[in-house]
Structure 1
Amino acid sequence: MAWVFTEEIRRLNRQGMTFNRMAAACHFARSTSWFNRLVNYDEGNPPPPRVIGDLAAMMGTSRRHVSEMIVEEWYGVRPDDAVSDHLRSLVIALHELDGDDVPVVEQLVKRLRDKCSEKRRLEGELEEARKAFASSSGQVLAGPASVS
């Protein structure tokens, strides 16, 4: 079982949000003791659908993301959208952008992608040069080359 919802609550708690503040921030959709039992004793019933919006506001994320965490943790069901975990929060944020901002984000992503492609190309050329040098001089290579 993945503890994705519980881990997010733990993360908020580590950042200084007390269980009292969590309860107040979600308009007491979940009680202080519910958060305490969830985090400290790994027990608690899944939040009902009617409180997902309040939890999302408290957690600073979307209703969809909270729903996904709940079904994954309590029911063992992961969304089948092939979005990796490290990109999930980015996808959620992108869905909330104004249409005017999308071209700016696309331009930034393309620039970063081109930078990574160029780095991989340079690393490949450097590796080929190292191999050519090693074979012509009879040296043994220590490992792959890296471009920073």
Structure 2
Amino acid sequence: MRKDAMNNSTARPFTQAVKGVRNTTGSYADVARRAGYARSTSWLTKLASAKDPWSVAHPPTPACLPALARMFGVSEARVREMVAHEWFGVDGLSASPVAKALARLVDDLDQDQVALVVVKVANALGESGRIEPRQVAGLLALLERPQERPDAIG
């Protein structure tokens, strides 16, 4: 990632999320406790003040993701996306900014809420003729087999 991009807070979504939790909890010790000590107080404090996340340490491991997701109140997929963006400069979705924002929001819904969104979108696309009836059926079938749903829109 370019150094000038590192100064932009949008280039640091994981750090911004950590700072947001700290703002509501009061200290990085509280943040570490909320994350089940998936990351230490020292690591979190250094990350928040560092200009480059690599100067602190390696990114969180996959084993840390469930605790971090609970702490941030988002899905594990969203935490993976934040880590990939901040440490590797990788944008996990190749889609428009609107589609990315929508994907993040939908990803944080429970399964029943996702079902409502999928049904409405599938029906709207079918009615507009933008997708064929078999494609609508395919989208609706994903609701019956959530384990086959992709983590992100690709």
Shift of 1:20: 1.2
RMSD: 2.7
Unaligned runs of 5+ in 2: 2-10, 125-154
Q: Which aligned pairs between 1:100-111 and structure 2 lie closer than 5 A? A: 102=116, 106=120
Shift of 1:93: 2.2
Work out which of the residue numbers 35, 59, 82 in structure 1 matches 2:72: 59
Q: Which of these residues, 71, 77, 88, is aligned with residue 90 of structure 2?
A: 77
Q: Indicate how the Cα distance of structure 1 residues 16 and 64 shifts in structure 2: closer, same or farther if over 3 A, else same.
A: same
Q: Residue type matched to 2:87 in 1?
A: W
Aligned-pair identity (%)? 33
Q: Do residues 25 (structure 1) and 34 (structure 2) align?
A: yes
| 1:35 match | 44
Q: Post-superposition shift, 1:104?
A: 10
TM-score (norm 1): 0.61
1:75 & 1:100 partners in 2: Cα distance?
Answer: 29
Following the alignment from structure 1 to structure 2, what is the Cα–Cα distance between the partners of residues 52 and 104?
26
Aligned with 2:74: secondary structure? coil
How far does the alpha carbon of each residue in 1:38-76 deviate from its partner, in whole angstroms, 9 at most, with x for none? 112344221111111111111111000000000110011
Give the Cα–Cα distance (whole angstroms) in 2 for the partners of residues 30 and 3 of structure 1. 17
1:103 shift after superposition: 6.2
Q: Distance in 2 between matches of 1:76 and 1:103?
A: 30
Q: How far did 1:37 drift?
A: 0.4
Q: Rate the CA distance shift 1:100–1:32 in 2: closer, same or farther, 3 A.
A: closer
Counterpart of 1:8 in structure 2 is: 17
Q: 1:15 to 1:97 in 2, by over 3 A?
A: same
Q: 5+ residue gaps in structure 1?
A: 111-148
Tell me which structure has the larger Cα radius of gyration: 1
Q: Which moved more, 1:53-62 or 1:8-17?
A: 8-17
Equivalent residue for 2:112?
Answer: 98
Query: AA paired with 2:95?
Result: A
